[in-house]
Amino acid sequence: MILTVTLNTALDITYRVRGLRPHASHRVTEVIERPGGKGLNVARVLAALGHEVTVTGFVGGATGRAVQDGLTHTPGVVDALVPVAGATRRTIAVADTATGDTTQLNEPGPSIAPAEWSAFQEAYEDLLRSASAVALCGSLPPGVPVGAYAGLVRVARSLAVPVLLDTSGEPLRRGVAARPDIVKPNADELAELTGAHEVAQATRDARRRGAHAVVASLGAEGLLARTPDGDWRAAPPRLVRGNPTGAGDSVVAGLLSGLVEQLPWPERLARAVALSAATVLAPVAGEFDRSAYEELVGRVSVTGETAAA
């Protein structure tokens, strides 16, 4: 079982409009609602790849019930979310069908009480005992300590469970120091973490800060990976246009599935890039265009070299 952690779960709502214009009224052509938050998106992609996945994090209120109702219709995903008094947040994506661009609005999330945080930590440790890997994903809701991910990384490492961290800002800085197996920042998050604006240098600095492997997301240009086994650059064979929401979460799913399947790094990276591109072509986060994925995965360019023995 793969475990994904989404401390700030969400109900993702996507509105489709024909031409988004400021200060104007718009007629919505389609509304899509589904469980969201980075770890839940990761879980849906992992399940579509054939892995058994359990999701945990916080859930509450009417929005939280809608999230859990949606999970019951997601084959391969087990709901182990922890209830809280506050209401789960909503995220609003407005997709412009004329340009392919998407505008995102994210609520902050419920305030988590100390007792609720303690209950989650107990549930998390219990779930780790049957996990083959864990992904810690996304922002922290109000009330959760800024060093939360660092603590969760340490618990996973104490139980010998490989851990991937995908967050930003101070939670990333503290989490990296706890020595996760993989971190997956984008270029801006790396620059904020290390102070280096050249991505290759920033990945080296992030490894020195504690991460065993750093996989930097370069958007449409693919991935740059610096690992104990070697350094690689992976790029898609062609540019794809569409809704990029969730593309980074599909990268996480590709990396995590490759880890548990013990694939060599070049194959993990090719899968992650192909899944990311195929997600851009899908209508909502947490899905990917399977035919596009199958066409792209064998054509991803992966260059670099294995580390010297």
- Give the active site residues: 249
CA atoms of 219 and 157, how far apart (whole Å): 30
Look up residue 238 and give its DSSP letter. S
Closest CA to 223 of 278, 166, 271: 271
* Gyration radius from the chain CA atoms: 18
